[in-house]
């Protein structure tokens, strides 16, 4: 086996191969032959799947500076060195089926990275710096122990496919709704109780899979015309607690379990007056985002960071008229079993929820209109 390995690397050096396959070699350590002298400066793709590696060398980027794709699927890698960030040309990194418990912040320096696969590890969190990967198109973090996703993930403006199945996620950051190129979102088998109001608002998002989140009973109505997976959802008996739960009760109270803390008022068809705080926030939002460039407001507005964040990322937008909403919502329930999708989704008790900005929009909203 050692002789075959030396021969494969020797030939790759002599013939200046761009691809090197070292899969299924029972390697415990990274081959020193790859790192001797000038290394393999011309190598672009390195395949080392199904070995026994536990780490990577610190000088990997120095010896293999032109790597574009690195496949390390099914090893025993526990830690990735900080020097991984020096692989400036790397576009695809596969670390699936390893033993990673920590991902170093330097991963955010891989500015050319387009595909990152981290499934089936032992990760409990992701570094915020992952949001610096503006070329990232595919992110797979399924089968880990994640309890949350980085809020800065919305900065991955090229992201098209996000897979986070089989984790411990209790919520989806609403900032993800600003990923306007996201085409597929999969968060099956987590602990989700609530989905962002704007999920599905982007026309680009066509596939959303949230199967087997047993406490999830409400889907934003934006998802009605998408390809969705929701089998095994809504099978628990959890209900909305507190004053809102007492007021709403029934199926609507169940669908709103996990409602964001920013929501202070849940309106109904008979509530014809929007609360003053909500009106003030809508006015501030228009001033901050739609103010004509030739209009100068003096003195400049100074607001707390928490309020600025809310103005930048509203709770959602009215499912009928697209008005931004901040502390007040007017929800309307459409049980899936009563829609045209009933025959497709039989193992679920979820409902679509239209989140509106006023009693007028609530009364006039039509799910199939």
Residue 300 and residue 230 share a domain = no
Q: What is the pLDDT of residue 10?
A: 85
Residue 187 and residue 113 share a domain = yes
Residue 113 and residue 222 share a domain = yes
CATH code where residue 125 lies = 3.80.10.10
Residue 228 and residue 328 share a domain = no
Under 8 Å between Cβ of 210 and 188? yes
Q: Does residue 304 lie in a domain region? A: yes
Residue 290 and residue 224 share a domain = no
Q: Does residue 257 lie in a domain region? A: no
Planar angle of CA 140, 44, 72, nearest 5 degrees:
40
Rounded to an integer, what distance in angstroms lies between the CA atom of residue 100 and that of residue 96? 9
Domain carrying residue 198: 100-235
Q: Does residue 55 lie in a domain region? A: no
pTM of the model: 0.91
Bridge partners of 117, per DSSP, are 94, 140
Residue 223 and residue 127 share a domain = yes
Name which of 194, 181, 293 is nearest 240 in CA terms: 194
* Each residue's pLDDT tens digit, 164-197: 999 999 999 999 999 999 999 999 999 999 999 9
Residue 230 and residue 116 share a domain = yes
Q: Does residue 244 lie in a domain region? A: no
Residue 343 and residue 231 share a domain = no
Q: Maximum CA pair distance of the chain?
A: 81
Residue 282 and residue 230 share a domain = no
Residue 195 and residue 140 share a domain = yes
* Each residue's pLDDT tens digit, 75-118: 999 999 999 999 999 999 999 999 999 999 999 999 999 999 99
Residue 119 and residue 184 share a domain = yes
311 versus 53: the higher-pLDDT residue is 53
Residue 220 and residue 159 share a domain = yes
Q: Does residue 256 lie in a domain region? A: no
Q: Number of structural domains, the chain?
A: 2
Instruction: Name 184's Cβ contacts closer than 8 Å, sequence gap at least 6.
Output: 160, 161, 162, 163, 205, 206, 207, 208, 209
Rg from Cα positions in the chain? 25
* Each residue's pLDDT tens digit, 243-302: 555 445 577 888 888 899 899 999 999 998 999 999 999 998 888 776 555 555 544 567
Rounded to an integer, what distance in angstroms lies between the CA atom of residue 223 and that of residue 137? 22
Under 8 Å between Cβ of 43 and 12? yes
From the number of C-beta atoms within 10 Å of its C-beta (0-12, 13-18, 19+), residue 241 rates as exposed
pLDDT at 129 over 60: yes
Domain end position, chosen among 235, 261, 284: 235
Domain end position, chosen among 186, 211, 235: 235
């Amino acid at each position: 086996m050692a002789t075959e390995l030396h021969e494969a690397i020797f030939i790759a050096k002599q013939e200046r191969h761009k691809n090197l396959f070292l899969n299924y070699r029972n390697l415990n350590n990274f081959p020193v032959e790859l790192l001797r002298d000038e290394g393999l400066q011309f190598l672009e793709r390195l395949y080392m799947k199904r070995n026994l590696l536990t780490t990577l060398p610190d000088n990997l980027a120095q010896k293999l500076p032109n790597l574009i794709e690195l496949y390390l699927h099914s090893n025993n890698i526990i830690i990735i060195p900080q020097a991984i960030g020096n692989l400036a040309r790397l576009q695809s990194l596969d670390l699936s089926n390893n033993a990673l418990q920590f991902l170093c912040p330097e991963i955010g320096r891989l500015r050319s990275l387009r595909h990152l696969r981290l499934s089936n590890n032992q990760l409990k969190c992701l570094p915020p710096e992952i949001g610096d990967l503006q070329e990232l198109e595919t992110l797979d973090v399924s089968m880990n122990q994640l309890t949350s996703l980085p809020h800065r993930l919305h900065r991955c403006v090229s992201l098209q496919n996000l897979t986070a199945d089989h984790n411990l996620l209790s919520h989806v950051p609403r900032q993800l709704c600003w990923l306007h190129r996201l085409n597929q979102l999969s968060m099956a088998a987590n602990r989700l109780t609530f989905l962002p109001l704007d999920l599905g608002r982007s026309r680009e998002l066509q596939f959303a899979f949230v199967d087997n989140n047993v406490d999830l009973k409400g889907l934003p109505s934006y998802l009605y015309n998408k390809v969705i997976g929701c089998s095994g959802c809504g099978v628990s008996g959890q209900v909305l607690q507190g004053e809102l739960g007492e007021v709403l009760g029934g199926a609507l109270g169940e669908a709103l379990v996990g409602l964001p803390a920013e929501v202070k008022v849940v309106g109904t068809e008979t509530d014809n007056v929007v609360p003053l705080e909500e009106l003030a926030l809508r006015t501030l939002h228009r001033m901050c985002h739609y103010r004509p460039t030739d209009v100068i407001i003096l003195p400049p507005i100074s607001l707390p960071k928490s309020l600025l964040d809310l103005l930048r990322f509203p709770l959602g937008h009215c499912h009928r008229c697209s008005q931004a909403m901040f502390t007040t919502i007017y929800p309307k329930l459409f049980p899936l079993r009563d829609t045209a999708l009933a025959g497709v989704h039989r193992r679920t008790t979820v409902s679509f929820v239209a989140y509106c900005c006023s009693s007028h929009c609530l009364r006039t909203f039509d799910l199939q209109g």
